[in-house]
Structure 1
Amino acid sequence: MKKNIAIIMGGFSSEYKISLKSGNVVFETLNPEKYNAYRIHIFKDKWVYVDTDHNEYPIDKNDFSVTVKNRKITFDCVFNAIHGSPGEDGFMQGYFELINMPHTSSGMYQAAVTFNKRDCLSVLKPYGIKTAESFYLNLGDPINEDAIIEKVGLPCFVKANKAGSSFGITKVYKKETLQSAIQNSFKEDDEIIIESFLDGIEVSVGVISYRGETKVLPITEIVTDNDFFDYQAKYLGESQEITPARLTKEQEKKVNTIAKNVYEILKMKGFSRSEYIFKNGEPHLLEINTVPGLTKESILPQQALAAGITLEELFENAIETALLSN
């Protein structure tokens, strides 16, 4: 009997348009002989099922069901394609775990801690995971530019603490532009993290739960003529994403081991994509994404393809793993 799969997409953050693209790719890719796929849009003002004619039907939040033409539809599993809040920060995970609904992403704690860059790096540091030097600011804190520069140096990166897709990030070269960069980040979040610039090879490493095992996918090297891997580089073609990355065997082994360790230390499941920069030959962790982009051009699907895993196999494995683990 075919399973009913709710593909949640949209969300509350600046990433909602990217999420809609990812969700639609999942919808178009799932095998209709195995699954009945339903597109569910999650926004602050509405949770709705959207049919192929763009009709909208409200979701009953009591049990995450929908009634269409007097027929109640319930779901066997949720495929999470929401980048940012509330799909990547633990809120949807907590809701689904409360109503005992299988879902494809990491658990509530794992989503929450990885979405908070500051907390994630703090949790991992005792395990020897290397990171950039950092300085934290909350909205309303006094801003001591000299203290910031003394700690992290110049250039540095000013980042919104809880945001993705490079929203709220500025590379700062001089003291005079630090204040405007901080205000830019505060537009996305009330917490920010300011990090030292790491000059080295940047790579993205996909780690997934695949057929009962933790699998590290072929590594992607990020090469961009832009100042950094910003929104334009990620989504508007202003970068090269080279898979497999041009690393030595030693570099590849190091970053693979660290990425797998991070996944297992945090007891993650489902998809993850973490970013590293090599400094003095050692991978330094930048951040972890638990709901990475899932379009055909996105990094994780590229990596899966390089590992011989099609999009259909990638998405089906996520669903079947979620069903087995519930």
Structure 2
Amino acid sequence: MLICLARRLSPSLMRSFPGDPGNYKHHFLLAFLMNDKGYFLFTRQEAPGAGERYRTYVARLCMLENPFLSHLEVPLACKQGTETFSVARAGLFGPLGAELAAQLPGRQPKASGESALYIEFGSSLTSETSALCVFTLSQIDNTVEEIRKACYHGDVNKARTEYVHSVHCKLQSRPNSDLDCGADHLPHPIAGLQPILATSVLTHIFPRRITAIAVLTEDNLTIAFLGDRNGHITKVYVQGNEISDDGVMVYGLSSAVSRHMIFDLSWEHFYAMSETQVGKHQVIVPRQ
């Protein structure tokens, strides 16, 4: 469903932009729905002709609009030690265990079963090492409102209109009603300038590029399966705000793991693919 959503809406999303967004070299990674909002995770160049200077954004828009007037982009980044990574290459909107949720900023989920964005970051599109950060939906939604208000108040240090450089954020005379959706919204895409900076849940930089993420919760814990470029799939336990060091490699494929790993309806098995293989694997794996 998410793949179909991305394929169907991404072209219309691009066509709804004034200017020429194609020059920014968008690369869409993930799309999902929550209530009446659509969310798109993508990377793009900071500006046309910016070379390898890519940034990661999550865009939110109202699905009932036509055209998408409320399009707003929130930049994301991931910190691992002293390094900051800004290029996302894999992502998942998945469940969040209560123990991990209690450690994350924003409105705290009350129990397991809440969802969050799990994003793999690298220093560039092709770098081999990975960092893994988690962003709650409340973080993203709160930042959307901050960016919108900053643009309406003319705060050019926090927000700007994107793709249309003849129009600028400036003090607007706007009603006090909710401007999430509808004709009162400024009819140009808005982008934030300061990223939400999360800290990686990995205890160290992952030595192989993570290409796939699957997550489930068990007894308030968050359990992640990380597929990588070399065909390895590693099961790790997230304890507090970092992944435990006792993650073990549980399965291997012949080439890079496809980004779409999914669980069956019983949550007892998951499916993983490479270029030449499809495998069904057990979720419960003895620790070695």
Larger RCO: 1 or 2 (CA < 8 Å, sep 6+): 1
Tell me which protein shows more strand as a share of its residues: 2
TM-score range, shorter chain: under 0.3
